């Protein structure tokens, strides 16, 4: 038996725009994803989050599914566009607590209010201060019942897919804007931590999507800088890595006086892991718009049979990543806040079970090598709106029929239920 530590936090994760629907109810204002998804050509088949999984109206049913699974925690995000009326989150949190499930709240999972985007969005420094005000308001409403708070989910994606490649909302393609957004997102995190601490929060975190980069040393170092160290070092060390600062200075300037705010201490680091990247030097390569300045670098195709997203299945990358974080950024407890796979539709999903089992074993191996890993959240509880890919990519432990909105637990849900009950895996 491969057993995890006592108190290990097994959970599942979702995000507001991906599951809630009800985009016009209870004072919710438009977000950048409302506008972007309604832009012709922005998402596969023009899919939007207008209805999604209708979790806004079906949350009670979904909490019962979580209770059946035996989840110890549920990671969800609060929709900033709903800040005028947070009653839904009152009801959700109370339902979770009634079933013994710890709520883990993310304050920003990409659904910026469109009115802030109209003022520049994350390229406008003021948005960071607006975020801190919002964080304080949400904590004031929910802080008596929510113990664990996450400021941002995957700021790399917000900055470099939202403002670099433009494949996500707000659909901007400008490398200078991407680096500016990255800095302002980190400033928002730091200001948000300060606001949460001032309000009484005892457990505050940030979630980063981190990707081990393998291959030719020079290209791998550059891409690792842009994908990982650009966020890890300012947040956890209070400084930009010199090579990354030199690289970004080719595109824009950032205010280094912000670093003490950005580096507010966190109680846990959330890690979203899905795959590895493999890069090679190729003088003819155009690079990737998500990695400004990567001309001359090519990405190798995934090895083996990839997931439906086209991502390589690489559990060893998770083990290596967790060990690296423990060694290079010691003293910060870790939580896998997202990990999962999009596989072909159906209730029988052996590929998802195989993916999760291999990654759980990798996480356990990292624990044995000294990583202070406190929990693991599967992405995702439900099939949902997978951003620019619409509803074609299914990550859910629970299948959603988008015509009827019926929920059906998959084989992977039953398997995960057993993992949680045993707190481990059979050898």
Listing DSSP states for 42-67 in one string gives: SSGGG--SSSTT-HHHHHHHHHHHHH
- CA 201 centroid distance within chain: 21
Give the tokens for residue 256: 């280094």
Does residue 310 come out as left (phi exceeding 0), alpha (psi in the -120 to 50 range) or beta?
left
What is the predicted pLDDT for the residue at 413?
Answer: 99
Cβ pair 187, 261 in contact under 8 A? yes
Domains parsed from the chain with CATH numbers: 2-425 (3.20.20.80)
Residue in the structure block whose two tokens are 């089992």: 357
Cα separation, 215 vs 342, in Å, equals: 25
Verify whether residue 154 is a known catalytic residue. yes
Cα separation, 85 vs 148, in Å, equals: 21
Of the residues 154, 290, 312, 357, which is catalytic? 154
**Beta bridge mates, 280:** 298
What is the predicted pLDDT for the residue at 63?
Answer: 99
What is the predicted pLDDT for the residue at 265?
Answer: 98
Give the tokens for residue 97: 């607590």
What is the predicted pLDDT for the residue at 4?
Answer: 99
What is the predicted pLDDT for the residue at 286?
Answer: 98
For 29, what's the count of Cα atoms within 13 Å in the CB-facing half-sphere? Answer: 12
Of the residues 20, 312, 319, 338, which is catalytic? 338
Verify whether residue 64 is a known catalytic residue. no
Cβ pair 113, 27 in contact under 8 A? no
**Considering just the CA atoms, what is the radius of gyration of the chain in Å?**
20
- CA 273 centroid distance within chain: 9
pLDDT mean for each 10 residues of the chain (427 residues): 98 99 99 99 99 99 99 99 98 99 99 99 99 99 98 99 99 99 99 99 98 98 99 99 98 98 99 99 98 98 98 99 99 99 98 99 99 99 99 99 99 99 97
Give the tokens for residue 130: 């607006």
List the Cα angle 4/353/343 in 5-degree steps. Answer: 140
Task: Write out pLDDT tens, residues 167-193.
Answer: 999 999 999 999 999 999 999 999 999
């Amino acid at each position: 038996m491969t057993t995890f530590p006592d108190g290990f936090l097994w959970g599942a994760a979702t995000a507001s725009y991906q599951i809630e629907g009800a985009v016009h109810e209870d004072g919710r204002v438009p977000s950048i994803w409302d506008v972007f998804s309604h832009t012709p050509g922005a998402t596969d088949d023009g899919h939007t989050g207008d209805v999604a999984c209708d979790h806004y109206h079906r949350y009670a049913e979904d909490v019962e599914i979580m209770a059946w699974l035996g989840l110890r925690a549920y990671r969800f995000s609060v929709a900033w566009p709903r800040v005028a009326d947070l009653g839904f989150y009152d009801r959700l949190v109370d339902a979770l607590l009634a079933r013994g499930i710890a709520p883990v709240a993310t304050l920003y999972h990409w659904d910026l209010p469109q009115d802030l985007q109209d003022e520049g969005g994350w390229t406008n420094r003021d948005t960071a201060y607006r975020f801190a005000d919002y964080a304080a308001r949400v904590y004031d409403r929910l802080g008596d019942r929510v113990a664990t708070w996450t400021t941002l989910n995957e700021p790399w994606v917000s900055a470099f897919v939202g403002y670099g490649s433009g494949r996500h909302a707000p659909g901007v393609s400008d490398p200078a804007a991407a680096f500016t957004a990255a800095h302002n997102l980190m400033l928002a995190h730091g200001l948000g931590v300060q606001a949460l601490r001032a309000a009484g929060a005892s457990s505050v975190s940030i979630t980063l999507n981190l990707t081990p980069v393998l291959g030719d040393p020079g290209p791998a170092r550059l891409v690792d800088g842009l994908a990982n160290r650009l966020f890890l070092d300012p947040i956890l060390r209070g400084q930009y890595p010199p090579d990354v600062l030199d690289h970004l200075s080719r595109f824009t300037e950032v205010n280094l006086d912000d670093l003490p705010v950005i580096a507010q201490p966190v109680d846990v680091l959330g890690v979203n892991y899905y795959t590895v990247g493999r890069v090679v030097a190729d003088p003819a390569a155009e690079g990737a718009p998500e990695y400004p300045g990567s001309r001359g670098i090519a990405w190798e195709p995934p090895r083996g049979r990839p997931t439906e997203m086209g991502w390589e299945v690489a559990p060893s990358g998770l083990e290596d990543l967790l060990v690296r974080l423990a060694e290079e950024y010691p003293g910060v407890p870790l939580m896998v806040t997202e990990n999962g796979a999009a596989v072909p539709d159906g209730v029988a999903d052996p590929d998802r079970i195989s993916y999760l089992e291999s990654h759980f074993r990798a996480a356990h191996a990292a624990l044995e090598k000294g990583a202070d890993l406190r929990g693991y959240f599967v992405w995702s509880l439900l099939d949902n709106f997978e951003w620019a890919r619409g509803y074609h990519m299914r990550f859910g432990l629970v299948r959603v029929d988008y015509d009827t909105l019926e929920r059906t637990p998959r084989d992977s849900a039953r398997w995960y239920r057993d993992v949680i009950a045993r707190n481990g895996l059979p050898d």
